């Protein structure tokens, strides 16, 4: 089996119910954070880690994603003519990337979305990035996970400590710390009640998986919420091989949630040189108004 992680899957076929009505007829993954759709942050993160093949799982009302990553001939010509070099560079920066699109016919869950990519992944390890989990570009989460995968030759799941009341929104692990932020996983539970959660370590939207997950996914029936759950497949896989978690200590925004999205927007705007100064002034102004 190929050992290098060259492929990445970006599941983007979910219904985005937490962000309605914005996501009624347009993709959640295309919601902009400052000036880029959230899926572009994930694509750039993967490209920075040496990923070479990009597989996007799309569904109904998701055509805008394909258009966004396509060349925009007319727009590029017009920017060329008007000498807007910087903008031209910005919109054509990812033109060298080749994307494959696979349509998930019904939103049957994250596990099912990943199974749809089986013909493209073949016999290779692959990364999965959920683009509504936005990770600051300064963090090296995915890079670190790839490094641990190459050392351990086992699937690696990104983990984050989350407060008790929020744990029921996540897949949660039971595991043993082995140093360097690595946990050997003993069990996984999807969306446990707070009192039943085996730990405060939640699985977040970055994974390095191996192709044997497909065999488990193919045999899986519907789990929590009537969906084919990736967490259930990972629990099945655990019977045959070790799986590790890697504890992420940086900043992650759950931008599929309205408040998480607003936090991501504020923090990333404050870091964006084009808008940070006037935006900071505005934020300070709001803060002083709120104090009164």
Q: Does 194 bind ligand UTP (CB under 6 A)?
A: no
From 7-15, 71-79, 88-96, 184-192, span contacting ligand UTP (CB under 6 A):
7-15
Which of helix, strand or coil describes residue 252? Answer: strand
Question: From the centroid of its chain, how far is CA 142?
Answer: 10
Number of residues that bind ligand UTP (CB under 6 A): 22
Residue number with CB closer to ligand UTP (51 or 113) = 113
DSSP letter, residue 233: H
Would you count residue 17 as binding ligand UTP (CB under 6 A)? yes
Residue 216 and residue 236 in contact, taking contact as beta carbons nearer than 8 Å: yes
- Show the binding pattern over residues 264-283: x = contacts ligand UTP (CB under 6 A), - = does not: --------------------
**Residues near 157 by beta carbon (within 8 Å), at least 6 away in sequence:** 173, 185, 203, 206, 207, 234, 243, 244, 245, 246
CA distances from 57 to 39, 109, 200 (A): 12, 12, 30
Distance CA 81, CA 86 (A): 13
Nearer to ligand UTP, 79 or 115 (CB): 115
Interface residue with ligand UTP, options 15, 88, 152, 238 (CB under 6 A): 15
Instruction: Outline where the chain has alpha helix (H).
Output: 38-48, 63-68, 73-81, 85-92, 110-115, 118-121, 141-152, 212-218, 230-237, 258-271, 276-291
18 touches ligand UTP by CB under 6 A: yes
Q: Which is nearer to ligand UTP, 12 or 55 (CB)?
A: 12
For ligand UTP, the closer of residues 20 and 48 by Cβ is 20
Stretch that binds ligand UTP, among 117-125, 130-138, 139-147, 276-284 (CB under 6 A): 130-138
Each residue 76-115 as x (binds ligand UTP by CB under 6 A) or -, in order, gives: ----------------------------x--xxxx-xx--
The residue ranges that bind ligand UTP (CB under 6 A) are: 11-19, 28, 57, 104, 107-110, 112-113, 130-132, 256
């Amino acid at each position: 089996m190929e050992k290098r992680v060259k492929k990445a899957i970006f599941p983007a076929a979910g219904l985005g119910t937490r962000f309605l009505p914005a996501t009624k007829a347009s993709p959640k993954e295309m919601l902009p954070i400052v000036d880029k759709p959230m899926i572009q942050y994930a694509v750039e993160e993967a490209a920075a880690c040496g990923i070479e093949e990009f597989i996007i799982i799309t569904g109904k009302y998701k055509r805008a994603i394909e258009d966004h990553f396509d060349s925009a001939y007319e727009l590029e010509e017009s920017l060329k003519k008007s000498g807007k070099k910087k903008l031209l560079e910005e919109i054509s920066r990812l033109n060298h990337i080749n994307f494959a699109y696979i349509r998930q016919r019904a939103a049957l869950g994250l596990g099912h979305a990943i199974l749809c990519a089986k013909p493209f992944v073949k016999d290779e390890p692959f990364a999965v990035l959920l683009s509504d989990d936005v990770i600051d570009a300064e963090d090296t989460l995915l890079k670190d996970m790839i490094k641990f995968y190459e050392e351990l030759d086992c699937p690696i799941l990104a983990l984050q400590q989350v407060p008790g009341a929020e744990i029921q929104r996540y897949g949660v692990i039971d595991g043993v710390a082995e140093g360097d932020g690595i946990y050997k996983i003993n069990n996984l539970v999807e969306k446990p009640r707070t009192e039943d959660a085996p730990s405060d370590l939640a699985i977040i939207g970055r994974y390095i998986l191996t192709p044997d997950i497909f065999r488990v996914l193919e045999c899986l029936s519907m789990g929590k919420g009537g969906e084919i759950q990736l967490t259930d497949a990972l629990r099945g896989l655990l019977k045959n091989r070790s799986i590790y978690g890697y504890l992420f200590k940086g900043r992650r925004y759950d931008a599929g949630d309205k408040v998480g999205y607003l936090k991501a927007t504020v923090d990333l705007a404050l870091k964006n040189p084009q808008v940070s100064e006037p935006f900071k002034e505005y934020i300070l102004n709001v803060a002083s108004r709120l104090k009164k």
